[in-house]
Amino acid sequence: MNSIGGLIVRDIRIALRSGGAWLLGLVFFAVFLSMSAIALGGEFKTLRPLAPALIWLAVVFSLLFSFEHLFSDDAEDGSLEHIKLSGMSMNAYVLAKVCAHWLLAILPLIIALPLAVLLFDLPTDILLGLFVSMVIASPALVCYGAFSGACLVGFKGGGFLLVLLTIPLVIPVLIFSVSGAVSFQNASLFQVLEFQALAGISLIAAAIGIPAAAAALNTVME
Amino acid sequence: MNSIGGLIVRDIRIALRSGGAWLLGLVFFAVFLSMSAIALGGEFKTLRPLAPALIWLAVVFSLLFSFEHLFSDDAEDGSLEHIKLSGMSMNAYVLAKVCAHWLLAILPLIIALPLAVLLFDLPTDILLGLFVSMVIASPALVCYGAFSGACLVGFKGGGFLLVLLTIPLVIPVLIFSVSGAVSFQNASLFQVLEFQALAGISLIAAAIGIPAAAAALNTVME
Amino acid sequence: MISFLANPLRFKKFANVAAPIFGLLALFLIGSGLYFGLYNSPEDQLQGHSVRIMYVHVPAVWTGMAAYAGMAFASLLAYIWRHPLSDELARALALPGAAFTALGLITGALWGKTSWGTYWQWDGRMTSTLILLFLFIGYMAVWAGIDDKRRAARIAGLVAMVGSINLPIIKFSVDWWNTLHQTSSVSMPDAPGLPGSILLPLMLMTFGYTFFLGWLVLSKMLNKIASAKTRRKRPAAATTTLEKL
Amino acid sequence: MTTATKTSSQLVVTDLAVSRGDNLLIDGLSFSMDAGDTLWVAGSNGIGKTSLLKCIAGLLRPDSGHVVWGEQDVHKYISSDTGYQGHHDGHKPNLTVLENLRFWQSVFASPIAPEYALEQVGLSAQINLRAKGLSAGQSRRLSLARLLIKRASLWILDEPAAAMDAKGRSVIHALVGEHVASGGCALIASHTPPEKIGNNTRVLTLSGAEHE
Amino acid sequence: MTTATKTSSQLVVTDLAVSRGDNLLIDGLSFSMDAGDTLWVAGSNGIGKTSLLKCIAGLLRPDSGHVVWGEQDVHKYISSDTGYQGHHDGHKPNLTVLENLRFWQSVFASPIAPEYALEQVGLSAQINLRAKGLSAGQSRRLSLARLLIKRASLWILDEPAAAMDAKGRSVIHALVGEHVASGGCALIASHTPPEKIGNNTRVLTLSGAEHE
Ligand code: HEM
Ligand SMILES: Nc1ncnc2c1ncn2[C@@H]1O[C@H](COP(=O)(O)OP(=O)(O)OP(=O)(O)O)[C@@H](O)[C@H]1O
Ligand SMILES: Nc1ncnc2c1ncn2[C@@H]1O[C@H](COP(=O)(O)OP(=O)(O)OP(=O)(O)O)[C@@H](O)[C@H]1O
Ligand SMILES: [Mg+2]
Ligand SMILES: [Mg+2]
């Protein structure tokens, strides 16, 4: 337990030291939304119905590339070997990395959500729907991403392959999140079918993704 | 001249050796379009008017991340030092990298364009417009990207900062390209004002971007 | 059966006999399937001759899905027992599986052009078939991108297994998403209700494709075993001496 | 060559075969080490020293054979009683020397103060320098400090003296001497002539199948 | 200490000051080297050897002072007549040994066959191995081969013997000897005791401001 905490603290500290690089996931989020708005013509009338989809696409793509370095830095500089020799289980290690990543990459997006909604002039209940869908769906995103990231360690130029591996896993999340956010308008939290599905997917993703990522890391290290 | 050719050949060879990683820019392109179509509900009625914008966004984002490793690999493993000491001018080096990158990253997208149009059931004259706009605008994209990539060398997790640096430069290209592709329907090639503007931007980007990237690399190495 | 074939020698014997049989069967079944399908079956009242694309399309998609299932199962066996032969099986299934899936997509697109006027619709089945193709490509990319083949096998196996657990979720979500959004959904005839004149060539083609897949996989694996044998003999290891200082 | 009595700090290597790519590097290697033993691994470049050490640490799967350390096969259950220093130092460039060590202290749940370890390896002055600013030798010293913090009984050192100055080399010598004197084992790959450390120093020389 | 006559292969360092971060490492250093000279740079870890060599190669800007090589200030116009071997080897892991060298041959526009250079450094057997499969010593040998291909008159070697076995060290010695005999200059940073190479071997020892 102690060493899981240590790992989380270290990861956050490294992130804060990296010259603001961790904040730039947020920047990508903002840039993606603005670019889409510009490319799509910029009228609220056309943009408003597209907004939940665009916001979720922004979330997915902003996260996607962050998984590339989740494990590869530790593997390349040799620290992963020392962690393995420390007797810490790979599952615990992956769990710690996933938690740190949630704090560093997803939490800022959740906090920034109201700003994004401003860009599209969306009603508050859709904002709320987006908010709930992000909270419920984010474990699935991080766990699948961690699995893909682990598979890619030692795989140069892996960014694009990461896309290929993660996307099929993420598509259901995307579908349920977007339509869940929209249907939240007319229903109470526990009635929204999509949110129930998302919760299930998150559970499955955590149960499969973390051990699978640990297994991949064990293999890759040999 | 000889060493520029050598560099291009080496870059292409490295790319081909990387287990198909270079092809995955194309994959990202396809994945981005499919994900957008899925997130936006999948009806041609809504998708068709958005298609040129989505396709251009896919091009921009698929390229964007490819610039991260354009120079940083050479810088990190020490080969850039040896290239500098070889007496090859940095401008020539950047030019070679840019040409190789055009061949590896942009050419496949141009070739794959018809497929993308299939996904949105677009008419042929818009396909042609997209095609022309990509050919004219691509030098601008590569040169701006190279400049940002050069600025980021030695900057861990720079991918997102790259986004931030490149986007303001790329936005005019995006605007002109999308509206050029659409207005191409009703005009002949040389009448489309946007294409003239794009050609101008490409010239300027090459004239500024390449020396600026060279200067950035010179600075970063110290 | 599995443990019986796990021995490379026995597998080789089996494959040497089975591969040509599979090949011939495939040839015969596909040939007769094409005959019944293209000449000796009724036109559809609505779609005319273009209905015949079905005899290529439907079996292709089915075979592609079967190939993925086989790949995931072989990966599971390989992962648990670390048996190289099942890795080879999984790997050999990937390319043909992707090819059949692509064939299904292409013929489906052609069919779509003739019956709906567009090559593509963002319809549930079609979308999940596309994602299946992405999964195949991802699996193959892992093999291509990792040099050490033992490592590549395990990682690719994990990818196949995680993908297979997720496939039902993908299918469920996509079908459900499609029914929500697509009002003018296209009705596909249900297989059980089909008349025999359609069912016969369909079944012939399906079995023909399956045997073709089997033939491809077995020959590829035989090739692998043969080339592993002929690989040049490894140089001798270092001699070690241990002495007290 | 294996012995029957198994004490908890005994390393037994039985019939080990290690390969890299298509090359079989080591075949049929058996030896054992007891508390207080030192083993130098010598051999020309590319003969397989690094691969052997990684295999004994449990980081590289052997083609066949077993490595048993403290009664367990390290390729079944990785042993946390092993300290390894490889060619890669494994420091985070943007953390300071002290922060790097603090992190390892928490991972190893070690009672040793990082400051004390840094003093031992002569790195006290760089305590607040970011790791990316370390010179080649200083970076090696930092990984030596990590080894001290871990307090494992089996030390596996891959060319610890590389990039070290004369003072650094004598520090390594002294530390290894202390370690084996207190009942540890040490395996050291090196290109420098082996020196006697502790009571039982042996040299394992790999030779012959030169791949050059 | 500077001499008045300037031949084309003379290195003149005048009043050089080099700093890293906040530390002034070297101050007021002046010396010159003529064709055939060898200069060893010695000093403890972190004293500034690497920084000095990089500065002389033109890769690190000095605080003040000049480095003139072949009549030009290397910090104004970088000299392509310099061969540098640093701590990083700079090989592309996914290209084979031969492909890596071929690339450098085309960059340097050199007439020397890569195969010949590989034979000289004893790496002929690895010619088709990808660079990521090289052992530590083999990787150093490959960068030595790059140096041979470049045929520069000034060699700057930063711990070339690190990770090398005895045979490798004698290869380096022989190559540097040949180089200075044919009118080249060599600057070598090292932790091993300096040996006499060529007619005029000098040792530049950095000491004093120990940062540890
Ligand atoms: C690229 C386009 C298409 C794709 C990817 C596709 C995909 C599929 C898939 C995955 C199946 C197997 C479904 C299952 O067994 O549950 C299937 C079956 C079938 N498809 Fe398509 N399809 C496409 C286009 C079409 C078109 C345009 C038609 C006809 C108008 C069509 C008619 C059928 C029929 C009749 C079946 C067999 C009946 C059944 O299994 O329910 N498909 N297709
Ligand atoms: N980027 C940097 N920022 C701050 N300090 C640095 C940086 N790079 C090096 N230093 C410091 O400068 C000093 C000299 O480093 P240098 O690498 O030149 O030493 P060295 O003599 O080559 O040592 P070694 O023998 O260990 O290779 C060291 O004390 C190091 O801590
Ligand atoms: N991933 C790999 N693929 C193929 N061959 C490899 C790989 N890794 C190492 N080798 C080869 O295995 C051999 C042993 O490498 P190893 O690193 O164990 O040597 P070493 O004895 O430590 O050498 P050095 O003294 O140079 O460090 C080398 O000949 C090397 O070329
Ligand atoms: Mg080694
Ligand atoms: Mg140094």
Average of per-residue pLDDT across B24-48: 86
Q: Which of D61, D102, D103, D157 to mutate to test binding with chain A, by most A CBs within 10 Å of its CB?
A: D103
User: What is the average per-residue pLDDT within D142-152?
Assistant: 93
Cβ of residue E132 closer than 8 Å to a chain B Cβ? no
Shortest Cα distance from D86 to chain A (angstroms)?
8
For residues A18 and B145, the model is more confident at B145
| Residue of B108 and B157 predicted with greater confidence | B108
E129: left (phi over 0), alpha (psi -120 to 50) or beta: beta
Gap between the Cα atoms of D109 and D54, Å rounded: 23
E138 ligand 2 Cβ < 6 A: no
Indicate the average pLDDT of chain C.
82
pLDDT beyond 50 at D172 = yes
- Cα-based distances in Å from A188 to A180, A184, C4, D115: 11, 7, 57, 57
Q: Which ligand is nearest to the CA of E122?
A: 3
B88 and chain E in contact, CB less than 8 A:
yes
Range of the domain at B189: 4-221
The residue with greater pLDDT, C69 or C233, is C69
Residue B220: the pLDDT is: 77
Is the pLDDT assigned to residue D209 strictly greater than 70? no
Distance from CA of E147 to the nearest CA of B (A): 10
For residue C174, the chain B residues in CB contact (below 8 A) are 38
Amino acid making up residue A209: G
Instruction: Give the number of the ligand closest to the Cα of residue D210.
Output: 3
Query: Above 90 in pLDDT, residue B211?
Result: yes
Q: Which residues, in sequence order, are CB contacts of D201 under 8 Å at separation 6+?
A: C244, C245, D37, D38, D39, D40, D194, D195
Comparing C11 with B107, the larger pLDDT belongs to: B107
pLDDT at D97: 94
Q: How confident is the model at residue B222 (pLDDT cuts 50, 70, 90)?
A: low
pLDDT bracket for residue D101 (50, 70, 90): very high
Among E23, E24, E55, E210, the mutation site with the greatest number of ligand 2 atoms within 8 A of its Cβ is: E23
| Sign of the CA dihedral with A122 first, then A125, A126, and A131 last | positive
Q: Do C240 and D200 touch (CB under 8 A)?
A: no
Q: What ipTM goes with this model?
A: 0.82
Per-residue confidence (pLDDT) for residue E38, from 0 to 100: 94
Interchain pair A86, D107: CB under 8 A = yes
Greater confidence (D210 vs B54) lies with B54
Higher-confidence residue of D96 and B79: namely D96
Segment among A102-106, B59-63, C115-119, D200-204 with least mean pLDDT: C115-119
Give D140 Cα–ligand 4 centroid separation in angstroms. Answer: 15
Residue D127: CB within 6 Å of ligand 2?
Answer: no
Mean pLDDT of the B191-201 span: 84
Q: Is the per-residue pLDDT at E44 higher than 70?
A: yes
Residues pairing with E205 in the sheet: E42
Does residue B136 or residue B165 have the better pLDDT? B136
Report the alpha-carbon distance of residue B200 to residue E21 in Å, rounded.
44
pLDDT, residue D212, reads 40
If pLDDT is split at 50, 70 and 90, which confidence band does D66 have?
A: very high
Residue D189's φ and ψ, nearest 5 degrees, are: -90, 135
Over pLDDT 70: what percentage of chain D?
A: 94
Higher pLDDT, D13 or B84: D13
- Taking the C-alpha atoms of residue B98 and residue E109, their distance in angstroms, rounded to an integer, is 21
Is the C-beta atom of D134 inside 6 A of ligand 2? yes
The mean-pLDDT minimum among C36-40, D71-75, D173-177, E36-40 falls in C36-40
Which pLDDT value is given to residue A158? 64
Q: Is A204 buried (19+), middle (13-18) or exposed (0-12) by CB count in 10 A?
A: middle
Q: Is E95 helix (H, G, I), strand (E, B) or coil?
A: coil
User: Where is average pLDDT lowest: A23-27, D48-52, E174-178?
Assistant: A23-27
Reported as a single tens digit per residue, the pLDDT across A154-213 is 676 566 678 888 888 899 999 999 888 888 776 666 677 788 889 999 999 999 999 999
Task: Tell me the residue length of chain B.
Answer: 222
pLDDT tens digits, residue range C164-195? 988 888 888 887 777 654 443 344 544 445 66
* Nearest protein Cα to ligand 1, atom 20: C58
What value does the mean pLDDT of chain E take?
88
Higher-pLDDT residue of A199 and A6 is: A199
DSSP string, B11-38: HHHHHHHSTTGGGHHHHHHHHHHHHHHH
Range A120-134 average pLDDT: 88
Q: Is E21 in the pocket of ligand 2 (CB under 6 A)?
A: yes
Share of chain A above pLDDT 90, in %: 35
* Confidence at residue D5, expressed as pLDDT on a 0 to 100 scale: 38
DSSP string, C86-115: HHHHHHHHHHHHHHHHHHHHHHHHHHHHHH
Residue B125: the pLDDT is 83
Average pLDDT over residues D80-109: 89
Q: Would the CB of E55 count as within 6 Å of ligand 2?
A: no
Confidence of residue A60 (pLDDT cuts 50, 70, 90): very high
Averaged confidence pLDDT in chain B:
84
pLDDT of C5 above 80: no
Mean pLDDT, chain A, as a whole number? 86
Give the range among C91-100, C145-154, C210-219, E127-136 with minimum mean pLDDT. Answer: C145-154
Percent of the residues in chain E that have a pLDDT greater than 70, as a whole number: 94
Report the alpha-carbon distance of residue E43 to residue D166 in Å, rounded: 9
Judged by CB atoms closer than 8 Å, whether chains meet at D24 and C237 is answered as yes
More confident call, C112 vs B163 = C112
Q: How confident is the model at residue E209 (pLDDT cuts 50, 70, 90)?
A: low
Q: Are E37 and E66 in contact (CB under 8 A)?
A: no
pLDDT at E24 over 60: yes
For residue D21, pLDDT beyond 70: yes
**Chain C residue with Cα closest to B44:** C121
Q: What is the pLDDT of residues E2-22, one digit of tens each?
A: 333 334 678 999 999 999 888
- Laid out side by side, the sheet with E200-205 consists of E82-85, E154-158, E185-189, E37-42, E200-205
- Nearest atom of ligand 1 to the alpha carbon of C111: 27
Q: Quick one: pLDDT at residue C243?
A: 83
Ligand 1 surroundings by CB, under 6 angstroms: C 54, 57-58, 61, 104-105, 108-109, 111-112, 115, 125-126, 129, 186, 188-191
Structure tokens given for B205: 């980007």
Give the pocket of ligand 3 (CB within 6 Å). D 20-21, 23, 25, 43, 45-51, 211; E 126, 129, 133-138, 163
Answer whether B118 sits within 8 Å of C121, measured CB to CB: no
**pLDDT value of position B143:** 92
The number of distinct structural domains making up chain A is 1
Give the model confidence (pLDDT) of A48-59 as tens digits. 888 999 999 999
D32 pLDDT exceeds 50?
yes
Please, how many CA atoms are within 13 Å of residue C19, restricted to the half-sphere of its CB?
14
From the CA of E20, which ligand is nearest?
2
Mean pLDDT of A23-29: 83
pLDDT score, position C193: 54
Give residue B74's pLDDT.
84
**8 A C-beta contact, residue D185 and residue D36:** yes
- Chain C neighbors of B20, CB-CB under 8 A: 141, 144-145
- Name the residue of E49, E205, E206 to mutate for ligand 2: max ligand atoms within 8 A of Cβ: E49
Q: Structure pTM?
A: 0.85
User: pLDDT category, A43, cuts 50, 70, 90?
Assistant: confident
Q: Could you tell me the residue ranges of all domains in chain C? A: 18-183+194-222
Choosing among 1.10.10, 3.30.750, 3.10.450, 1.20.120, the CATH entry for C18-183+194-222 is 1.20.120
pLDDT at E3: 37
Instruction: Report the pLDDT value the prediction gives residue B156, as an integer from 0 to 100.
Output: 58
Q: Quick one: pLDDT band at residue B154, thresholds 50, 70, 90?
A: low
State the pLDDT confidence band at E108, using cuts at 50, 70 and 90.
Answer: confident
What is the pLDDT confidence band of residue C1, given thresholds at 50, 70 and 90? low
